Structures are given as structure tokens and as C-alpha cells.
Amino acid sequence: MSRVLFLLLVMTGLMVTLTSCKSDPERTFSKRDLNDLPQILEQGRLIAITDYNSTNYFIYRGQPMGYQYELLQDLADHLNIKLEVVVSNDLEETFNCLRMGDCDLIALNLTITRERKKKFDFTVPHSQTRQVLVQRKPEGWEKMTESQIDRSLIRNQLDLENKKVYVQQNSAYYNRMLNLEEEIGDTIDIIDVPEDAETLIMMVADSQIDYTVADENIALVNQTYYPNLDVKTAVSFPQNLAWAVNTGADELRKEINGWLEVYRKSTRYAVIYNKYFKNNRSASIMKSDLFTLSSGTISNYDVYIKQYSREIGWDWRLLASLIYQESRFNPAASSWAGARGLMQLMPSTARRFGVSSKSPASEQIRAGTEFIKWLDNRFAEEIPDPEERIKFVLAAYNVGPGHIFDAITLTEKNGMDPTLWHDNVEVYLLKKSDPKYYRDEDVKYGYARGRETYNFVYQVMERYEHYKNLIEDQPLQDS
């Protein structure tokens, strides 16, 4: 699938579910209904909206990555709460999402303008860049000298007179082009379109358009992928890039500012920034079949994952997340306990379902899904909701069904809901490392490392939500 088509197909999502951000744009908040830091901490989650591209948020080799994603994860860790990511590449929708209270924070490379400051508050800068003109080098540029290339390109902003420049709607690039038009005292044919900066960069490289404008750091990353592009011509002074919060979310803004002031001076921040904006491996990542924005794939085994997930009624991206958690898609993986292969089946389970460590990947996935189906049948009576049952099956896959049935028993015995995982059965699974609970007369399977299984379920489900954010469902086509 072409990168353009994939970018058009991949739409909104979030770590749990993306709510609509296109409600009444005129709604304003009172101090009472605004989600400020105390409410966020009480809820135990930070909801941030960002965009999907080759730097901010993407999936590579099954793992969620990105400059904004890693900064947000570190902020959530600092606050000791969970992170939920909302995805949108539409700036109007993004601003509405914050305005309507569907998210707490816009985590983008936002320039701070007078117009935007009327509607939102901004954090201290997380980085700095300048805007550059993205244009195509001339035919045969590989055999030209640098001065020959320069003579065929726009190097003076005055030469943008009557040139057609495509920029993203509602972006700082559009406003900058309007200002530049005034500064040069002549007309620039500014075409504002819904496509984001990276899509427009690709369109320049593919000769669909001649000019666009982008942040220099993003343009340089994309130039490694499209060497026929030139991004040397600046069209702005250096600009601070920041995050946005709702006006009135003063405690949240102050907390983020205090954290950013320290964080930006840290080695950790330098490593993250360099990884995404100064790493020569960017081009190889973007060209990889496992870079989701260009390929739409998660692993080399997607065909088998789609085939066998259909047989158990699971979303293939959920099964992919489980396999990543178990083996990082390594068919030769082995654990200290003797589990082997993509699905990390224990030897007795593998024999039961007819595979060995030498079986091909397709057979390993087939056996793993048969085991999942067996577990699902075990819990069908106790947990009638199939969506809720997934968490119980994941837990049982990790620690065995006996410990999960014990946790169900303890949950019911202590007056909580034995059919719900979150804040109910998971609580008593965690307690199964406490003698008071694993020695209970109704517990049959004794001690369990509940924290390990709790984390397993959470991480599989969290990664699944990232996959849904960025990867189209794309079910296997019937032959």
C-alpha cells in the first residue's frame, strides 16, 4: 500500500477510544468543569492529542515510538498516572478536542501566535526550530555542483512572488506565508489544504506539487528519505515550539512548565531529541517494511496473525500485541521457564496443540490461537461479555487459568464484581502474593506473582490501543 493511501486510511484513535472532537467550537469552560491538574491526578490519566508522522508518533517493529510520544510518556511517569493518546492530523479537530475538554493537552510542535494565545495557554518551549521552504532539486542534480543546484532553486524569499505554495490548513505555515507576502510586497499563491506537512513534503518529492513549508527539523528528517529535496531556504526566524492547554488550566500548565524546565536540560531529553531529529537511521526506519506509516504492517507475520485471529474472533492487532509482548516477534525466543517461540508456549502446552520449538511461524501462531480459544471457552460461563473476557484470557495466558479463577473467587467473596477485570478481579490477583489471600480456604492454586500478570494485561491492551491508533484494521482477504 502506498504511503499516501495509508495516511489517508489511518484515521483517529486513542489509547482506549477516540471521542469526537468536533462538538460546539464556541463552548467555553468554567473553573468548575475545566479538567485541571487535580482532576487529572484524581482520574489517574493524562489525555494528550498528537499527530501521526515519522517523528511525533508511529509504530516501528511493533513498538509505539515518537518524539512527542516519548516526552508524553515521561511526563505521565513524572505525574505517576497513565497516558492516553488521541490521534488527529487535522489541526482544527485538534484544537476543538482541547477546547471541548476531550483531551487535556495538545502535544505538537506548536508555534505561539497572538491568535492562538487568545484561545489557549502555552507551556514553555519543548524545542526550537525555524520554517523552511521544501522544494525539489533539478533533474540530474546528482551530477551537478552545489552552485549549479543553488542557481536552479529559490534562495531569496523575494523569488516566491507568484509561486504556488501548499501548506496545511490552520497551521503556522499558512500564517507565516501570509506575513511573508506582506514583507516581500507581492503575491504568493498560498494554497491551504487538509494534508499535513509530511504528506505535502512527500508530494513535493513525487512532483505532485512544487513547494511547501515545514519545520526545519521535520524537513531534514524527511530529506534523508527523499534525497531529491532541498530544505536549505529559511522562511522564518527561529521559533519556539510548545504544547497547549486550556486557558484556566493553570495548575497543569505550571506543573508541565516546571517539569519541562528541568527535563530539557537532561541527558534523557537530549537522547530523545537526537534519536528522532539527528539520527542517520531515520531514513532506514522510514524505508523499513515494519515502519507503519509507509507499510501498514506490524510484523513479518501479519498474514498468519490475521488468518488465525479471525478464527478466534479477535482483532488481529490485539493478537499482534500479545505476540509482541511474548516474543518481540522472534520465533526463536525462549524464556527462563522453558516457554518457546513466537507465542511462548510452555512445552506441555506446545505438545498439546501439536507444535515444537522447530515448528514454522504459521504453526506456532496456529497453536497459540488454539490455546487462546481453549482459555476463552474456560471463562465463557463466568465472564459472559466477550470483550471483558479478553482481559481474563490474557491474564490466564500469562499465569494460567487456575490463578485467575482463584482471583475471581476472592473478588466475589469480598463483595466486588467477579465479571469485571479493572478495579475488581485484577485487585485480587495482585493480592495473591499476600499470605492473607493466597492461604484463604477457598484459594486452590496458592501464591501468584500477580503484579507480573497485572502488568502483562495492561501492556498488551495499551499496545493494542496504539496499534488501533496507527494501523488500519485491514482484515485478511478471502482467497
Any idea which residues carry the catalytic annotation? 326
Nearest-10 crossing angle of helices 361-379, 386-399: 120
Number of neighbours of residue 196 by Cβ within 10 angstroms:
21
Please work out, in degrees rounded to the nearest 5, the angle formed at the alpha carbon of residue 24 by the alpha carbons of 253 and 32. Answer: 45
Q: Decide: 302 and 311 in contact? Cβ < 8 Å.
A: no
- The residues that bridge with 106 in the sheet, in sequence order, are 49, 244
- What does the alpha-carbon distance between residue 182 and residue 196 come to, in Å, rounded to a whole number? 24
Q: What is the DSSP string of 235-249?
A: -S--EEEEEEEETT-
Amino acid at 374: W
- What does the alpha-carbon distance between residue 42 and residue 131 come to, in Å, rounded to a whole number? 39
Amino acid at 42: E
Cell of 462: 495499551
3-state secondary structure of 296: coil
Burial of 150 (0-12, 13-18, 19+ CB in 10 A): middle
Cell of 132: 523552511
Please work out, in degrees rounded to the nearest 5, the angle formed at the alpha carbon of residue 11 by the alpha carbons of 249 and 422. Answer: 60
Q: Which residues contact 213 (CB under 8 A, 6 or more apart)?
A: 131, 132, 133, 134, 165, 167, 173, 176, 177, 197, 235
> Residues in the chain, how many?
479
- What does the alpha-carbon distance between residue 97 and residue 85 come to, in Å, rounded to a whole number? 12
When computed from its CA atoms, the radius of gyration of the chain, rounded to whole angstroms, is 25
Q: Which residues contact 319 (CB under 8 A, 6 or more apart)?
A: 305, 308, 309, 312, 365, 369, 372
- What does the alpha-carbon distance between residue 165 and residue 134 come to, in Å, rounded to a whole number? 10
- What does the alpha-carbon distance between residue 187 and residue 19 come to, in Å, rounded to a whole number? 41
Q: Decide: 245 and 123 in contact? Cβ < 8 Å.
A: yes
**How far apart, in Å, do the first and last CA atoms of the chain sit?**
18
Cα-based torsion angle of the residue sequence 120, 121, 126, 132 in order, rounded to the nearest 10 degrees = 40
